[in-house]
Amino acid sequence: MLYWVIRWLLLSPVLAVAAGPFAFRYDPANQRWTLNNGSIEAVFSLSTSGVFAHERLTNLDTGDSWRASPQNPSSPIRLTVGGAIYGPRTQYRLVSQSAAAIPRDGYRQTIVLEDFPGQSRITLDLEMFAGQPVLRHAVSFVNLRPETVSVNFADMLPWIFRDENEQFRVFRVNQWDPGGARAENFETASADLPSNGRSFDIFSGTHGRHCGWVALRDSDNRGLFAGWEFNGRARAQVRQTRAAGTLQLAASVLELHHPVDPNQEFRVPASFIGLFRGGFDEAGFRTQRFAEAALAKPAPAGGFPYVVWDSWGYALDIEEQTLRANAETAARLGAELFIVDLGWALRLGDWQADPAKFPSGLRALSAYVHSLGMKFGLHFAFAEAAADSQVLRDHPDWTSSENGNYFGGHSLCLAHRPVRDWVIQQALRMIDDYAVDWILQDGEDMVKQCTKTTHTHDPADSNYANSVEGLDAVLAEVQRLRPNTYWENCENGGNMMTFQMVRNYVTSITNDASGALSSRQAAFGVTYPFPPRYSDRYMPEQELTPYVTRSFMFGGPWIVMNRTLEMSPESLELAASEIALYKGMRDLIRDGKVFHLTPRPAQDRIDAIESYNAAADSALVIVSRPLDPDDFYLLKPRGLRPDNTYRVRFQDDVRTYTMTGAQLASEGVRVELPEPFSAEIVYISPI
């Protein structure tokens, strides 16, 4: 009976699933799926010969359509398993198809295919979310063979479009790597895409060179953007081959050799592709809104991003009384979260409070912090252990084969099942013992490299196994069991800037505590692909000025590392007033559209960055002058409605203006910066 029901469902006339803005239709006569959320439409088909292909993506707001090439078909399935290639020329039979609502105001089309030899079952999930011109897709493979096979290649971003004889401009953003040969700090790179088939490459993931995101646009500002949800090392490519008339995207998992037992499943990390019209600020905004709507770990309720005090200004020289005194001052300044950084534990790997530093117990300090109205956070480098830690004395083989040398410790292999289970238990105990609200996760290269044959993972599969079955699995289980403890991504700086990171954490470090200019440079780059709350900044300067404090305001949590007991009264007074300013603007920055009004900040020129909130029709601009000889900046804000009238005021300057959006865009307004190393905040609100 079930067979005939399924057959009727597959062969009946067009099946439509509609709810809210979604219209997902399946035409069984032509085996074609049309997915529509009111912002974007995607069409896929299974041909009479059994080839599954993508036909087109259309931006319903602009009418722009990105079509597959008839000569070079495009399939969202591209992987190699046990010598068999699954791609745009593989033949399948349809097993089942269905569509259903999913959380976060989304809809999912699920298509299950089986290859003609009957060796594999492929499940394709295609997702859309209300108001987002983005298609998210994920592929899983089930081994139907009687023997174990290995997945040796998986493309997370397998798209081929007609190039329409266009010239494309492509765009990427670096990660943070202060120790590398290039000393990278979220620089942007934009280039004309060669039309001869030479690729524009993005090397992403932990300790990769670039963020896991790319955008491109043609001469008419028709654009694509894409991101992939994998923390391990990956190589993405954009390639135009004019001779073939194609524009191709790809993002492959590196060093992949994942064994799949009979009837077991392998999941290709998900990715998304979106459409936009405009410049790369628009590509970033569309990416950020999609990430917040569909992917990002929900932020804590109430005022977020937080103002934070972190103990690293004292490095490892911390103890109970010093921290209590700093907690009192931090609370008076307006801090909402108090973090005890590295140095609180007996040693790396022994995650018990050092009794010599905390004679009253760390739980007592946590209770005191809570009594002051702040949340309590702890540093936790859970994939590192000292040589003399109890865990390595008991289990010396738990280390990975390559060591990150984090503060003299040894790296643990999270892909090894006993290590993963131990880390989960340590995290749960630590959270419970010390009433931890926030975890500052640190370490060196969170996706460890390990080729040991004594571990539970395949020695040739370290990159995938340590990412998906190691790091991701640890975070998922701890967060499932302790959902009210929030996690910050920090690995000596933002060198794991991926959209899987966005799924796992509520914020991320950009660069480490490296000063005012460096902080602005990082925020400039990272706020292209990532929501502003994923740009937290560590302020190390001891004596403060408005130029310093305002260099740390644009983005996610503002993390103060000052030794407050040694600050001058003037610096303490300034800190309190500037923190109050930040709290008044953080919602607008968090939810607004970022406009990069000037080139990347540099020591010899003025820089300006804007956030425009369409719902409030309001803008905020932070303008900083380091050593530029000019004593003013002509501000021409973007995003404002031309016919609306706005009031323009300044934080320090007493002038106010009344101007239309058109006047502000064309004539601009003068921002006075009378001294080197000064900064001004400009507020623009509708009348």
Q: 659 in helix, strand or coil?
A: strand
pLDDT, tens digit (0-9, with 9 covering 90-100), for 104-159? 999 999 999 999 999 999 999 999 999 999 999 999 999 999 999 999 999 999 99
Q: Look at residue 180 in the predicted model and tell me its pLDDT.
A: 67
Average pLDDT on 207-226 reads 97
Q: What average pLDDT does the chain have?
A: 95
pLDDT, tens digit (0-9, with 9 covering 90-100), for 86-97? 999 999 999 999
Beta strands in 388-458 (DSSP E): 410-411, 438-441
2 or 364, higher pLDDT: 364
* Alpha carbon distances (Å) from 410 to 109, 152, 306, 392: 44, 29, 32, 9
Q: Look at residue 542 in the predicted model and tell me its pLDDT.
A: 85
Q: Look at residue 6 in the predicted model and tell me its pLDDT.
A: 40
Number of alpha carbons in the 13 Å side-chain half-sphere of residue 432: 10
In the chain, what are the domain boundaries? 2-295, 307-591, 594-686
Ramachandran angles phi, psi of 370, nearest 5°: -65, -35
Prior bond of 305 cis (ω within 30°):
yes
pLDDT, tens digit (0-9, with 9 covering 90-100), for 246-276? 999 999 999 999 999 999 999 999 999 999 9
Average pLDDT on 11-30 reads 79
Which candidate, 278, 376, 247, places its Cα nearest to that of 323?
376
Q: 3-state secondary structure string, 597-644?
A: CCCCCECCECEEEEEEECCCCEEEEEEEECCCCCCEEEECCCCCCCCC
pTM: 0.95
Of the listed ranges 69-78, 209-218, 393-402, the least confidently predicted one is 69-78
Average pLDDT on 340-358 reads 98
Confidence class for position 15, pLDDT limits 50, 70, 90: low
Ramachandran angles phi, psi of 28, nearest 5°: -70, -30
Fold of the domain built from segment(s) 2-295: Beta-galactosidase; Chain A, domain 5 (2.70.98)
Q: What CATH superfamily is the domain 307-591?
A: Aldolase class I (3.20.20.70)
pLDDT, tens digit (0-9, with 9 covering 90-100), for 480-501? 999 999 999 998 889 999 999 9
pLDDT, tens digit (0-9, with 9 covering 90-100), for 36-76? 999 999 999 999 999 999 999 999 999 999 999 888 999 99
Q: Look at residue 185 in the predicted model and tell me its pLDDT.
A: 94
Q: Are 394 and 350 a contacting pair, CB within 8 Å? A: no
DSSP string, 504-573: H-SEEB-S-S--HHHHHHHHHHHTTTS-GGG-BEEE--SS--HHHHHTT-SSS-EEE---GGGS-HHHHH
Confidence class for position 5, pLDDT limits 50, 70, 90: very low
pLDDT, tens digit (0-9, with 9 covering 90-100), for 405-437? 999 999 999 999 999 999 999 999 999 999 999
Average pLDDT on 347-354 reads 98
531, with CB counted inside 10 A (0-12, 13-18, 19+), is buried
Fold of the domain built from segment(s) 594-686: Immunoglobulin-like (2.60.40)
Going 453 to 456 to 461 to 464, the CA torsion angle's sign is negative
Rounded distance, CA 134 to CA 276, Å?
Answer: 9
Which candidate, 326, 294, 331, places its Cα nearest to that of 313?
326
Average pLDDT on 160-172 reads 97
15, with CB counted inside 10 A (0-12, 13-18, 19+), is middle
Q: Look at residue 8 in the predicted model and tell me its pLDDT.
A: 39
Other C-beta atoms lying within 10 Å of the C-beta of residue 593: 19
Q: Look at residue 179 in the predicted model and tell me its pLDDT.
A: 74
The single residue listed with the structure tokens 């790296």 is: 411
Rounded distance, CA 658 to CA 10, Å?
Answer: 63
High-pLDDT (> 70) share of the chain, %: 97
Rounded distance, CA 598 to CA 608, Å?
Answer: 6
- Name residues whose C-beta falls within 8 Å of residue 206's C-beta, 6 or more positions apart in sequence: 231, 232, 233, 445, 446, 447, 467, 491, 495, 496
High-pLDDT (> 90) share of the chain, %: 94
Confidence class for position 20, pLDDT limits 50, 70, 90: confident
219, with CB counted inside 10 A (0-12, 13-18, 19+), is exposed
pLDDT, tens digit (0-9, with 9 covering 90-100), for 653-686? 999 999 999 999 999 999 999 999 999 999 999 9
pLDDT, tens digit (0-9, with 9 covering 90-100), for 496-505? 999 999 999 9
- Please report which helix (H) or strand (E) contains residue 325, including its range: helix 320-333
Q: Are 474 and 420 a contacting pair, CB within 8 Å? A: yes
CA 514 to chain centre: 21
